C-alpha cells in the first residue's frame, strides 16, 4: 500500500513539473497528432472538441505572452481525465483490425 501511495505522489509531482496544466491544458491536449489521434478527434462530441480547442488557443496565447494562469485555474491532477482515450483506443483497434484483414 505504501509503494502505491509513493508512486501516486511521484505521478502527481511529474504532472505538475511538466507544466502544461499551468497553461490550462489537460494531458490529452498534449498528444502528438498522428493519424490515429486526428481520427479520434473527429469522433469527439462537439462539446469536448470545443473545450479542447479553447484550452489549446488559451495556452498558445499565454505562451506567446510568457504567462501562466493563476494557480486556482491550473488543471489539477485529480481533475485531468483522459477524454480522448476511449476514442483513440477504438481508432487503434479498428486500424489493427483493418491491417489484419488486409494481410489475409
Residues 6+ apart with CB under 8 A from 40: 84, 87, 88, 90, 91
pLDDT at 93 over 80: yes
DSSP assignment letter at 71: G
**pLDDT band of 1, cuts 50, 70, 90:** low
**CATH class of the domain whose range is 2-103:** mainly alpha
DSSP assignment letter at 83: S
C-alpha pair distances (Å), 57 with each of 1, 19, 37, 46, 102: 40, 16, 18, 16, 39
- Grid coordinates representing 1 are 500500500
Q: What is the mean pLDDT of the chain?
A: 96
pLDDT at 10: 95
Amino acid at each position: 500500500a505504501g509503494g502505491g501511495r509513493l508512486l501516486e505522489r511521484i505521478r502527481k509531482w511529474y504532472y505538475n513539473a511538466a507544466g502544461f496544466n499551468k497553461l490550462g491544458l489537460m494531458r490529452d491536449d498534449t498528444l502528438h497528432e498522428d493519424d490515429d489521434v486526428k481520427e479520434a478527434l473527429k469522433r469527439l462530441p462537439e462539446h469536448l472538441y470545443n473545450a479542447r480547442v479553447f484550452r489549446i488557443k488559451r495556452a498558445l496565447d499565454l505562451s506567446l505572452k510568457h504567462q501562466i494562469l493563476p494557480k486556482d485555474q491550473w488543471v489539477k491532477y485529480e481533475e485531468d481525465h483522459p477524454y480522448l482515450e476511449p476514442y483513440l483506443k477504438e481508432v487503434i483497434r479498428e486500424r489493427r483490425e483493418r491491417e489484419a484483414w488486409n494481410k489475409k
